[in-house]
């Protein structure tokens, strides 16, 4: 694993950072609070929604949403999430002092397993505060169906669009389908400001409580801003395939690791980050277009393979998920990709019920599809640093792996 490979190395996901972004970040910082206000106004216009709050990360956004909902419904404390999702989600729930409830997922769409979801929702439960559908990799899930299932119940839909900024489904923007939605601007998401989170909601009651909760948070300190700046410079230089081998070889950066940790720092978004985002609508469109060209390019090259996607309308993905048929095959593909620097990655290490720190909280229910996804899923890179030659090499690797030697 700790083999040092110097040479073209693709990151699994990347939203590039340019010198002009950093320049905008610095000038944003000098303009101060109005830079953040402007970013929020642009977001409200883009999403055609009344309320928007910007913070330091997706998990901060989720924590603040949950804390606000808890204050609005003190008698309820359960948050229902997919058993296969990012570890930041349970981290935020624990941070907010709430309880995690799980539902298994559909192996192909990563949406809830609706048989299990109907069963969970049919039970008498007046502790359920909210339910969190997640558009993993940008693949849209059926929020309307959840809305139908909870009709008549006062359960809030919190849409986890962390990986789906700018993505659409049937002409509707993801993030606007629930009662309240959030996005991540972290490294490797659809758009990045080093770190960052966005909350949007059309519900005045939720926004009113959120406004108070967000206001109680601290701003980034001077030292933290310097760190953000240095991180932005590092991303600008080191995300490029010619240099990505360098950060990848530094274990303390823990690149690509998903960790469960409720003790993360929560801040309001800084003017530096809002400045980094300047011109984000155009950048997002450009990145989206390039990524979807790469998705199409890969699917064409892999045409022999059955994919989760029906080739009708392609979703707006940030990585291309692909399930293989055995854990051994996956390990072999990952190790070849590692040697060749092709950026193929695994996803979350395990289903949420099997996170060591959380294990004791769950009954002995199994979440087989979530577990299978954690074992068998790969993602292929589709970011803007990819060249047609990279697509060829990935397709070739997967084709070769198909016939075991
Ligand atoms: C990344 C992510 C989050 C958390 O966002 P951060 O900005 O990394 O805190 C939450 N949910 C999902 C599905 C994510 O992918």
pLDDT in tens, 13-53: 999 999 999 999 999 999 999 999 999 999 999 999 999 99
* Residue that has been written with the tokens 């419904």 in this structure: 73
Minimal CA–CA distance to 109: which of 313, 290, 368, 307? 307
In the reported structure, the alpha carbon of residue 330 is separated from the centroid of ligand 1 by a whole-number distance in angstroms of 24
> Alpha helices, DSSP H only, in 260-309?
271-276, 280-301
Given strand 99-103, what is the order of strands in its sheet?
Answer: 51-55, 197-201, 180-184, 156-160, 128-131, 78-82, 99-103
CB atoms closer than 10 angstroms to residue 384? 14
385's tokens: 């640093």
| Residue 88 burial by Cβ neighbours in a 10 Å radius (0-12, 13-18, 19+) | buried
Looking at the CA of residue 57, tell me the nearest atom of ligand 1: 7
Average pLDDT, stretch 344-354? Answer: 95
Per-residue pLDDT at 360: 73
Q: Please, which residues have CB within 8 angstroms of residue 395's CB and are 6 or more apart in sequence? A: 298, 301, 302
Ligand 1 binding pocket (C-beta < 6 A) is 57-59, 85-86, 88-89, 134, 136, 160, 162-163, 184, 186, 197
Higher per-residue confidence, 278 vs 4: 278
Q: How far is the CA of 58 from the centre of ligand 1 (A)?
A: 5
pLDDT at 311 over 60: no
The DSSP code for 35 is H
Measure 405 CA to ligand 1 centroid, in angstroms: 39
Residue of 163, 181, 183 to test ligand 1 pocket, by largest number of atoms within 8 Å of CB? 163
Atom 4 in ligand 1: which residue has the minimum CA distance? 58
The answer to whether residues 46 and 281 touch, using CB atoms and an 8 Å cutoff, is: yes
Residue (of 173, 172, 142, 140) closest to 157 by Cα position: 142
Of the pLDDT bands very low, low, confident and very high (cuts 50, 70, 90), residue 259 is confident
| Nearest Cα residue to 302 out of 384, 391, 375 | 391
Residue to substitute in 12, 15, 56, 58 for testing ligand 1 pocket (most ligand atoms within 8 angstroms of CB): 58
CA angle 162, 247, 294 (to 5 degrees): 50
Q: How far apart are CA 339 and CA 1, in angstroms?
A: 10
pTM: 0.96
Q: Please state which of the ranges 2-6, 192-196, 387-391 shows the lowest mean pLDDT.
A: 2-6
* Tokens describing residue 255: 């690149």
Distance (Å, whole) CA 139 – CA 130: 21
In the chain, the N- to C-terminal Cα span, in Å, equals 22
Q: What is the pLDDT of residue 404?
A: 45
Which atom of ligand 1 is nearest to 60's Cα? 9
Query: In ligand 1, which atom is closest to the CA atom of 135?
Result: 13
Strand 78-82 relative to strand 99-103, pairing: parallel
Q: Where are the alpha helices (DSSP H) in 73-142?
A: 88-95, 114-122
SS3 state of residue 317: coil
**Distance of alpha carbon 44 from alpha carbon 362, whole angstroms:** 39
In the chain, the percentage of residues whose pLDDT exceeds 90 is 84
Per-residue exposure over 125-156, b if at least 16 CB sit within 10 Å of its own CB, e if not: eeebbbbbbbbbbbbbbbbeebbebbeeeebb
157 CA to centre of ligand 1 in angstroms: 17
| DSSP three-state, residue 335 | helix
Q: Whose CA is nearest to atom 7 of ligand 1?
A: 58
Tell me the CA–centroid distance for residue 381 and ligand 1, in Å: 18
Describe the crossing of helices 19-31 and 33-47 by its angle, rounded to 10 degrees. 120
| Tens digits of residue pLDDT in 230-254 | 999 999 999 899 888 888 887 766 6
Q: How far apart are CA 240 and CA 300, in angstroms?
A: 25
- Across 286-298, average pLDDT: 96
Can you name the residues that pair with 200 across neighbouring β-strands? 52, 181
Nearest atom (ligand 1) to Cα of 134: 13
Which of 61, 162, 260 for mutating ligand 1's site (highest number of atoms within 8 Å of CB)? Answer: 162
Tell me the CA–centroid distance for residue 32 and ligand 1, in Å: 26
pLDDT for 3: 62
Query: To test ligand 1's pocket by mutation, which of 88, 92, 96, 160 has the most ligand atoms within 8 angstroms of CB?
Result: 88
Tell which one of 86, 317, 347 to mutate to probe ligand 1, the residue whose CB is within 8 A of the most ligand atoms. Answer: 86
372 close to 107: Cβ distance less than 8 angstroms: yes
Whole-number Å distance between alpha carbons of 69 and 54? 17
Centre of ligand 1 to C-alpha 159, Å, is: 12
Q: How far is the CA of 59 from the centre of ligand 1 (A)?
A: 6
Mean pLDDT across the chain: 93
Residue ID of nearest Cα to ligand 1 atom 5: 58
Q: Which atom of ligand 1 is nearest to the CA of 59?
A: 9
């Amino acid at each position: 694993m700790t083999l040092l490979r110097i040479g073209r190395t693709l990151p699994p996901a990347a939203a590039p950072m340019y010198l002009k972004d950093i320049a905008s970040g610095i000038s944003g910082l000098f303009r101060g609070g109005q830079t953040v206000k402007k970013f929020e106004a642009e977001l409200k216009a883009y999403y055609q929604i009344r309320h928007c709050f910007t913070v330091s990360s997706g998990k901060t956004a989720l924590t603040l949403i949950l804390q606000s909902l808890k204050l609005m419904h003190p008698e309820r404390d359960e948050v229902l999430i997919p058993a296969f999702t990012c570890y930041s989600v349970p981290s935020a729930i624990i941070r907010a002092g709430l309880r995690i409830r799980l539902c298994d997922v559909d192996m192909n769409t990563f949406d809830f397993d609706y048989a299990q979801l109907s069963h969970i929702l049919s039970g008498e439960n007046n502790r359920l505060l909210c339910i969190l559908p997640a558009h993993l990799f940008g693949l849209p899930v059926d929020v309307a169906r959840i809305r139908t299932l909870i009709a008549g119940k006062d359960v809030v839909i919190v849409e986890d669009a962390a990986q789906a900024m700018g993505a659409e489904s049937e002409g509707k923007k993801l993030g606007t389908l629930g009662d309240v939605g959030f996005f991540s601007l972290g490294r490797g998401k659809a758009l990045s400001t080093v770190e960052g989170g966005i909350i949007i909601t059309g519900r005045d009651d939720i926004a009113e409580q959120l406004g108070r909760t967000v206001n109680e948070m601290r701003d980034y300190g001077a030292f933290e801003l310097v760190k953000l700046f240095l991180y932005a410079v590092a991303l600008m230089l080191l995300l490029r395939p010619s240099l990505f081998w360098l950060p990848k070889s530094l274990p303390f950066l823990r690149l690509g690791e998903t960790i469960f940790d409720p003790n993360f720092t929560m801040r309001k978004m800084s003017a530096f980050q809002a400045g980094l985002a300047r011109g984000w609508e155009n950048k997002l469109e450009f990145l989206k277009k390039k990524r979807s060209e790469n998705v199409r390019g890969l699917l064409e090259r892999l045409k022999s393979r059955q994919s989760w996607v029906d080739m009708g309308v392609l979703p707006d993905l940030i990585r291309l998920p692909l399930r293989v048929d055995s854990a051994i095959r996956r390990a072999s593909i990952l190790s070849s990709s590692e040697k060749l620097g092709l950026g193929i990655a695994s996803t979350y290490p395990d289903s949420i019920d099997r996170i060591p720190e959380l294990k004791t909280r769950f009954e002995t229910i199994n979440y087989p599809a979530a577990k299978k996804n954690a074992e068998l899923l790969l993602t292929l890179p589709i970011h803007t640093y990819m060249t047609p030659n990279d697509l060829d090499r990935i397709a070739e690797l997967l084709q070769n792996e198909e016939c075991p030697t």
